[in-house]
Structure 1
Amino acid sequence: MPAKPILVVDDSESVREAISKILQKQGYSVMTASDGEEGINLLQKYDIPLVLTDLKMPKVDGAELLKVAKTISPDIEVILITGYGTVEVAVEVMKEGAFDFIQKPVDKTTILNRVRNALEKQSLRLENKWLHEQLKTIQGSGNIIGKSAAMRKVMDLVGQVASSSATILITGESGVGKEVIAQAIHEQSSRRGKPFIKVSCAALPETLLEAELFGYERGAFTGAIARREGRFELAHGGTLFLDEVGDINPAVQVKLLRVLQNGEFERLGGGKTFRADVRVIAATNIPLKQAVEHKKFREDLYYRLNVINIHIPPLRDRGDDDIELLAHHFLSLYGKKNNKQVSGFAKEAREVLKKYRWPGNVRELENTIERAVVLTRSEQITIDDIPEEIVAAVKESPVISVGERILNIPIGKIPLKEIERMVMEETLKQSKGDKNIASKLLGISTRTIYRRLDEEEDGLD
């Protein structure tokens, strides 16, 4: 229950006492006033979130008290208490911002329901306001949304490398937002007024990728009826973003390496050499170092691409605050796109969003919020607007307790190695990085912890 007091204003002592007892028995803190003037004095003196006030009182009535309360703080909720014959007046006064009204004689169930609903609405509104303020504070990072330590580290690195001309390799699982990071780097660089060109290497057949990157002359191959500029030419002076660079075939890897080494290339079927004034940012969701070891990716090209590495953590490792910030960002975005007024998330829906593991990362969260906005018939996103498979995954998740932290593990969704990693990381956090303490808590040797950490680092390279 909130520590801040609820103010009860009524010129009837018996009504004040009755309402006060009902609220106090439920753990609420209560202050009382016998008239509107006394109520205003208390509102000016104390931080009061909710007022229950009689509508008809001498001197300052409930309608006037409502106006003054909203002037003191627009976030104060006001519930009117009305007698027989004043219901129509109460309805009119509600247009001035009252939350609801209660008819006399008052009863326990009605009072508690109205109070609970008013405080929940207020809490949601204040949370939304806070989230909007948080979103405003991070607008300088382009479309990068996040306040977690992991994302702050990414944002800091983006700011550091943007002004350089170094090639960058962005790594991370599918859907974490690698393109958003690449765009942020471009927008903060000296090339921001020039083109940002994306090539999805995985989406193009091997035979077309070379032509797409370097262009071709007329007659270079069957169907080449006219000369066409490649993406390196289109990105001149700007940035070329190579998404899923690990899928590039060996022949194109050789040509790409030449561009990165010498800044030179030729169109297919042509002899003229072009100079490439392009900053290359590549991205992959596979461990390229392992691809090098398995002879599937050129080692020299890997080192040319990986001058600076930016690793984006999966959404599940970014914490509840980032999930809420992203959810509200997408809610606002798709609310505007679909011309719908959706104020926020109901409590149950919010909890599901925070507890779900998001294997598809930010992309899956975005798609989930877009769907919810389109389908909802409420002013808030409710649990009914969340896909059934997500709700079911959260409800079926077994719980693992690590110290004070509870980890929800979706059944059949995460390999055992990943669960072990989660538990070990959380234990290290709680032991402030002390591997000796962590090993005792986990019942394993410090050697095992070092080995697991080494394995994880190898997997990220």
Structure 2
Amino acid sequence: MQQNLIGESPAFLSVLDKVSKLAAIDRPILIIGERGTGKELIAQRLHYLSKRWDQPLISLNCSALSEGLIDSELFGHEQGSFTGSKGRHKGRFERAENGTLFLDELATAPLLVQEKLLRVIEYGQYERVGGHQLLNANVRLVCATNANLPEMAENGLFRADLLDRLAFDVVHLPPLRQRQEDILLLAEYYAIKMCRELGFEYFVGFNRQAEQALLDYQWPGNVRELKNVIERAVYQHGQSDSPIDELVFNPFAAHWNQEESARAEEPKPTVETFAFPIDYKQWQEEQDMQILSAALEESKFNQRKAAQLLGLSYHQLRGMIRKYNLTSPQ
């Protein structure tokens, strides 16, 4: 069953409109977006709005399997085709017959598998691993990635001819930071769901500071990260009647590490090491000249301001400048 796609920002609504039009066109589709932007949800929408809606929707994450296994998972294998294979195995293409096959993380698929995918798209045929019988495929292919496929193709890391076949049209999913209007909408949605899961009577809301923090954050993990932040905040806040005022964006940051970092950033007084005997009068004059020069530079050689920085009167400062022959630049 398709999950909810939530949003009202122009960038998001534009994507939904495009997907609705593409759903009716029986061509391969490429979805590009950062992690956590909802690529699989868009693939589901493409399937359930298409004429194949009552047929299987089969998914495979290409990064989860090695080269040998992904070949077998996609196209199936015959009995005895490799060590440990028992009986004939139906691949994802065979299981998705008349329906839709969604391939996530496509950029990680080995070049040999890409070549076989190209054959399926061009001729609608494939062979099981270890088999010789050509099987026909009536499957709509929807692929997704967060990689730059054109750049990979230029560098020989992705088949350019496969990219051409997949790029009938490309759906670009906007990152959450480009969907400002949707951030608080999604936050409330996930908060209410979490309250129901925990058995809370109602959702107390966020205070203004928490809302602003949600809007200011860049969301590198996008909607998936937002969901984690909100659910974490709801359960940690508990059943208090006050609005949620604390959000943990980085659960990996231990509080004692933060305290140690803060202490490490505090300026520490430096103790100069002396080699005795020294000429105290000369050392004192050098110290005076250094601090006077620094104060004059800081005040852009405005002597009244420099005197204020040093806690001296204007006349005291003037006297020290004459004593050490410190003049402002012309």
| Same fold? TM cut 0.5 | yes
In the superposition, relative to structure 1, how do residues 340 and 235 fare at CA in structure 2: closer, same or farther (>3 Å)? farther
> Which of 314, 323, 327 does residue 183 from structure 2 map onto?
323
Residue 340 (str. 1) matches residue 200 (str. 2): yes
Residue 388 of structure 1 and its aligned partner are, at CA, apart by 5.5
Two-structure CA RMSD over aligned residues (Å): 1.8
**Using the alignment, how far apart are the partners of 2:142 and 2:179 within structure 1?**
24
Answer yes or no: is the 8 Å Cα contact 1:242–1:281 preserved in 2. yes
| Cα distance change on mapping 1:353 and 1:374 into 2, 3 Å | same
Point out where structure 2 has 5 or more consecutive residues left out of the alignment.
254-330
Structure 2 counterpart of 1:307, from 168, 176, 180: 168
Letter in 2 for 1:248: A
SS in 2 for 1:189: coil
Matched, 1:189 2:50: yes
Read off the aligned partner of 2:172 and give its amino acid letter. Answer: H
Post-superposition shift, 1:205? 1.3
Give the corresponding residue for 2:143.
Answer: 282
The answer to whether the aligner puts 1:294 opposite 2:162 as a matched pair is no
1:441 alignment counterpart: none
Q: Which moved more, 1:368-377 or 1:157-166?
A: 368-377
Structure 1 residue 269 displacement after superposition = 1.2
The answer to whether the 8 A contact 2:229-2:249 is kept is no
SS in 2 for 1:199: strand
Please identify the structure whose Cα radius of gyration is greater: 2
Alignment of 1:22-101 (within 5 A): none
Aligned partner of 1:249 among 95, 104, 110? 110
Q: Does 1:176 align with 2:37?
A: yes
1:203, distance to aligned residue in structure 2 (A): 1.4
SS in 1 for 2:8: coil
Q: Tell me whether 1:227 sits opposite 2:88 in the alignment.
A: yes
Is residue 153–residue 159 contact of structure 2 (8 Å, CA) maintained in 1? yes
1:192·1:238 contact (CA, 8 Å) conserved in 2? Answer: yes
2:218 is equivalent to residue 357 of structure 1 = yes
Equivalent residue for 1:165, pick from 20, 26, 33:
26
* Partner residue in 2 for 1:458: none
How far residue 235 of structure 1 moved from its aligned partner, in angstroms, is 1.0
Query: C-alpha displacement at 1:178, in angstroms?
Result: 0.7
In the alignment, structure 1 residue 267 sits paired with structure 2 residue 128: yes
* Preserved CA contact (<8 Å) 2:31 2:172: yes
Gap change, CA 1:388 and 1:252, over 3 Å in 2: closer
Matches within 5 A, 1:86-165: 143-165=4-26
More strand by share: 1
Q: Which has the higher contact order (CA 8 A, sep 6+)?
A: 2
Percent identity (aligned): 45
Question: What is the CA–CA distance in structure 1 between the aligned matches of 2:200 and 2:96, rounded to whole Å?
Answer: 37
* 1-structure distance, mates of 2:56, 2:77: 20
- Deviation track 1:180-215 (CA, whole Å, cap 9, x = no partner) reads 111111111111111111110111112211011111
Say whether residues 1:387 and 2:248 are aligned partners: yes
* In 2, Cα distance between equivalents of 1:185 and 1:269: 33
**CA shift for structure 1 position 379:** 4.7
Asked if the contact 2:195/2:202 (under 8 Å) is kept, the reply is yes
Distance across 2 between alignment mates of 1:164 and 1:324: 34
Helix, strand or coil at the partner of 2:14: helix
Q: Which amino acid aligns with 2:61?
A: S
- The 1-side partners of 2:242 and 2:103 are apart by 39
Whether 1:207 aligns to 2:68 is yes
| Counterpart AA for 2:70 | L
The offset of 1:221, in angstroms, is 0.7
- After superposition, the Cα gap between the structure-2 partners of 1:226 and 1:361, relative to the gap in structure 1 and judged at 3 Å, is same
How far apart, CA to CA, are the structure 1 residues paired with 2:236 and 2:96? 39
- Between the two proteins, the alignment pairs up a number of residues equal to 249
- Residue 124 of structure 1 corresponds to none
The CA deviation at 1:381 is 5.8
- Contact 1:170–1:312 (CA<8 Å) still a contact in 2? yes
